[in-house]
């Protein structure tokens, strides 16, 4: 029973480059969430997706960030023209039902640590 | 504007004693509350949750108490064990998203 798989675990980019973070949800989960954690901070919601649909992107910065969850393949969080402030841990979670209610919580991957040089 | 607040960044407890982690929230529309535990370099793992219509939920050594009038919940761990040393996140859910607190780092002392 594979859990939520994120790759890469660590990603180093120079300012101005693009970062692509991948997330494969748990088997049977069709709801995917992306969170960002800055040092000494909690997890900040970014975006909620179901297959081929963005349900809620209220936590996504307006520029440079995008997310998708295609019919086939993993969910991708894409950051264009990265800046130093994008350095953070990015976590993906998946759930069976909407927002991981009650006894069906969100299950998290181990995150991608993004470092911008 | 923090909707979920964990006011203690860290807490140290003697092994075998009770650990009590606190959490306050501001939005009365939250309908589920959850606790997650996180070890360094790993993702958060779900511990226990409680519906807003309940005031207590227990699972082994872990009990969550909810006081809706005070908009306060707490996680009790008893007895505390060395493996409980981690960061604990309180979270609250409504509609499509879950809002997390900043976490409390729990140190279990030998």
pLDDT at A60 (0 to 100): 94
Question: B62 — contact with chain A (CB < 8 Å)?
Answer: no
Contact yes or no for B93 and A108 at CB 8 A: no
Residue (of A15, A52, A13, A17) closest to A32 by Cα position: A52
Q: How many CB atoms lie within 10 A of CB B106?
A: 21
3-state secondary structure of B83: helix
Q: What is the pLDDT of residues B1-53, one digit of tens each?
A: 689 999 999 999 999 999 999 999 998 889 899 999 999 989 999 999 999 99
Flag whether pLDDT at B93 surpasses 90. no
Of A35, A40, A102, the CB nearest to B49: A102
Q: What is the pLDDT of residues A35-55, one digit of tens each?
A: 999 887 889 999 999 988 999
**In A, residues 17-36, which contact B (CB 8 Å cutoff)?**
33, 35
Which residues of chain A lie closer than 8 angstroms to B89, CB-CB? 42-43
The sign of the CA dihedral B10, B13, B16, B19 is negative
Q: Could you give phi then psi for residue B18, rounded to 5 degrees? A: -90, 135
Which residues of chain B lie closer than 8 angstroms to A103, CB-CB? 49
pLDDT at B18 (0 to 100): 98
Which residues of chain B lie closer than 8 angstroms to A91, CB-CB? 43-44
Q: Are strands B10-14 and B104-109 parallel, antiparallel or unpaired?
A: parallel
Q: How confident is the model at residue A103 (pLDDT cuts 50, 70, 90)?
A: low
Least confident range from A3-12, A52-61, B81-90: namely A52-61
Q: How confident is the model at residue A101 (pLDDT cuts 50, 70, 90)?
A: low
Q: How confident is the model at residue B96 (pLDDT cuts 50, 70, 90)?
A: low
């Amino acid at each position: 029973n594979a859990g939520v798989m994120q790759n890469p675990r660590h990603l180093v980019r120079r300012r101005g480059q693009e970062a692509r973070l991948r997330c494969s949800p748990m088997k049977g989960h069709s709801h995917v969430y992306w969170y960002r954690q800055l040092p000494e901070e909690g997890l900040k919601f970014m975006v909620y997706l179901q297959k081929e649909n963005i349900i809620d992107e209220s936590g996504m910065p307006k520029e440079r960030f995008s997310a998708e969850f295609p019919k086939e393949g993993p969910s991708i969080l894409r950051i264009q023209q990265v800046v130093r402030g994008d350095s953070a841990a990015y976590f993906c979670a998946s759930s069976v039902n909407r927002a991981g209610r009650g006894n069906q919580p969100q299950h998290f991957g181990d995150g991608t640590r993004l470092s911008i040089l | 504007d923090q909707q979920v607040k964990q006011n203690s960044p860290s807490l140290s407890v003697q092994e075998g004693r009770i650990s009590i982690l606190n959490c306050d929230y501001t939005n009365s529309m939250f309908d589920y509350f959850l606790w997650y535990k996180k070890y360094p370099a790993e993702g958060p793992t779900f511990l226990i949750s409680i519906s807003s219509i309940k005031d207590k939920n227990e699972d082994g050594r872990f009990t969550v108490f909810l006081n809706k009038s005070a908009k306060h919940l707490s996680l009790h761990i008893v007895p505390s064990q060395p493996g409980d040393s981690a960061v604990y996140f309180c979270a609250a859910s409504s509609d499509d998203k879950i809002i997390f607190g900043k976490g409390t780092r729990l140190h279990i002392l030998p």
